[in-house]
A and B are shown apart, each in its own frame.
Chain A
Amino acid sequence: MNRRIISTAIFLLGAGLASQTSIAASQEPIQPIEPAKVTNASPGRTRQEALFRPAPVEIWLHLLQFLPQPVDGGHRQHQDLDR
């Protein structure tokens, strides 16, 4: 019980101090400046967009994996080269 009262008191004290600080800051004629919010943090996507027509190319790349694969992993045999 006592522990609960103490933790509640500490929480309220902390919250009070925090709100006092923010009130003090808002009463000043100058306000803090916040870091920039970068909304387009995706350089990989941007580069892709610049180089390809995104949707069709991506669809074909995805479809390629469903094509039947050669048993030898795609390596041509010597006899194939001789033909």
Chain B
Amino acid sequence: VTSGSRPDQRADRTITPASTIAQFWDGRAADLKAQAGGPIANPGEMGFSTPWRSACCRPSPATSKNSRKPSAANKIDIDKVTNSIAAFEDTLVTPNSRFDKWLKGDKKALTANELAGYQLFKETGCVACHNGPAVGGNSFQKFGVVEPYKGDSKAEGRAAVTGKDADRFNFKVPTLRNVEMTYPYFHDGAANTLPEAVDTMARIQLGKKFTPEENAKVVAFLKTLTGDQPNFKLPILPPSADATPRPTPFDKK
């Protein structure tokens, strides 16, 4: 999935979002609340204009028929909507991965092969950026430190936000939590598999060429970072009525 206002970038991840330095690959949203408002207003995503947004923030006709006139304190506005989305996204953490269990003392949680992968991950220098509880997400780093990254994307990373030439090709280091489930990889989604992503990262960031065995070990370790996935009930929304505001299709704007 591409990011709406940046069709040259794939969507940022919302799992474990709270522990990241900023939102989106270029960090253009300072926090989850700022991020939540982006896709709602973005013409390339939900494309809600201001009047349409206001209409959606009113109770639907089906709800308002059964409720009393809302007080000022209960009034729903875009600020409350983005606050609520941010609060919800804050809960999207995935604890209890096998690696977490190993960290907490269960020495049988990882196989010898996976442990060897973790050792390689540390010794090669991957942990310089992929560290902390989220295994990344806490800094912006240049993509292509040792060797320039060659891709089709025109994204220039953090420079698009700061305007500084020094920030060109600096991207947010992604969290590696649940990385086996979040393909394709990199800001442009150019790497389809974990072995491909590991190979590229080792080469352009660390100047190292992993053997197939080493690559497989690192990949085996990365797969131990998959935790319990969020589990929640989807809300049943009230039915739409004749007076429910309708979106304007993109091709009629």
Contact = CB atoms under 8 A, between A and B. Distances in A.
Interface residues of B, number: 34
A49 to B, nearest CB: 6
Interface in A30-65: 30-36, 38, 40, 49-53, 57
Nearest to B97: A33
B104 A25 contact: yes
Nearest to B91: A36
A8 interface: no
B87 A36 contact: no
A4 B70 CA distance: 65
Interface of A: 21, 24-25, 28-36, 38, 40, 49-53, 57
A65 B73 CA distance: 28
Nearest to A51: B67
A49 B70 CA distance: 9
Interface of B: 16, 19, 66-68, 70-71, 73-74, 76, 87, 90-97, 99-100, 103-105, 122, 127, 130-135, 177, 227
Contacts of A52: 67-68
A36 B103 contact: no
A32 B177 contact: no
Given A38-B91, A50-B74, A51-B68, A30 B104 contact: no
A36 B92 contact: yes
A53 B95 contact: no
Nearest to A25: B103
A30 B74 contact: no
Contacts of A31: 103, 132-133
A33 B87 contact: no
A26 to B, nearest CB: 9
Nearest to B105: A21
Nearest to B19: A33
Contacts of B103: 25, 28, 30-32
Contacts of B97: 33
11 contacts: A21-B104, A29-B131, A31-B103, A32-B104, A33-B133, A34-B133, A35-B93, A36-B91, A49-B73, A50-B76, A53-B71
Given A21-B105, A32-B95, 8 more contacts: A21-B104, A24-B105, A29-B122, A34-B95, A36-B93, A40-B87, A50-B70, A52-B68
